Amino acid sequence: MNYLIIGGSKSGKSEVGEKIALTLNKNKVIYIATMKPFDTEDKERIKKHIENRKRFNFVTLEVERNLHEIIRSISGNDTILIDSITSLLTNEMFISNEIIKNPSVNILNGLKQIMLKAKNILIVSDYIFNDAIYYDGITKNFQKQLAIINRELAEICDNVIECSFGNMKYHKCREETFI
């Protein structure tokens, strides 16, 4: 079963992803964390999250780029939670002093490989498209790349859930998981 869970900042999407993942597999969830730490505060936040997840049988893999490289670590019975596509896109788009123009290609390739191998995959992504601010070309391309990824995932996932203010709305539903 494949899920795309989308929402704005602090909308509850990560918590929804964690809860659904645990209903799909109480014994083990592989939690792919994509945040790249930039300072001590980020490192402490990551450490705290890893410790908190251990009590729920989450196995955390820190994957900042190139999702396809973890395929060998996944079995056919695994439940995978990827949090978040937005962080992954940032890491794939801005490498050293270079700006990658189409990082969505590499990201979607890795996601599709994981979806073919794992039993369940839950993908958390942000919704950053509903303001009227005029952005520079780099930011516009970031938004475009995220939109490409989100649209493709919405098409191929069995379930698409939007989170807003802690509420869930199913936009596409093959199997509802109530939490």
Q: Report the CATH number that the domain containing residue 105 is assigned in CATH.
A: 3.40.50.300
To the question of whether residue 12 is assigned a binding role by annotation, the answer is: yes
Assess if residue 179 is contained within a domain.
no
| 28, 49, 112, 119: the active-site residue | 49
Q: What is the pTM of this model?
A: 0.91
Beta-sheet pairing, 167-172 with 159-164:
antiparallel
Give the residue, 136 or 48, on which the prediction is more confident.
Answer: 136
Assess if residue 38 is contained within a domain.
yes
Mean pLDDT, to the nearest integer, of 136-159?
96
Q: What percent of the chain has pLDDT over 90?
A: 68
Assess if residue 23 is contained within a domain.
yes
Look up residue 32 and give its two tokens: 């792919």
Residue 11 has a pLDDT of 86
Place of tokens 């410790």: 51
Q: Which domain holds residue 53?
A: 2-173
Assess if residue 134 is contained within a domain.
yes
Q: Crossing angle of helices 104-117/85-93, nearest 10°?
A: 130
What letter does residue 26 receive in the DSSP assignment? S
Yes or no: say if 30 and 74 are a contact pair by the CB < 8 Å rule: yes
The CA-atom distances, in angstroms, between 145 and each of 44, 103, 149 are 29, 7, 6
Q: Is 49 a catalytic residue?
A: yes
To the question of whether residue 137 is assigned a binding role by annotation, the answer is: no
Assess if residue 178 is contained within a domain.
no
When divided into structural domains, the chain yields a total of 1
**Which backbone phi and psi does 175 adopt, to 5 degrees?**
-150, 115
Assess if residue 111 is contained within a domain.
yes
What letter does residue 79 receive in the DSSP assignment? E
Q: Which of 44-48, 106-110, 161-165 has the highest mean pLDDT?
A: 106-110
What residues contact residue 98 under an 8 Å CB cut-off, 6+ apart? none
Assess if residue 8 is contained within a domain.
yes
To the question of whether residue 9 is assigned a binding role by annotation, the answer is: yes
Mean pLDDT, to the nearest integer, of 139-158?
96
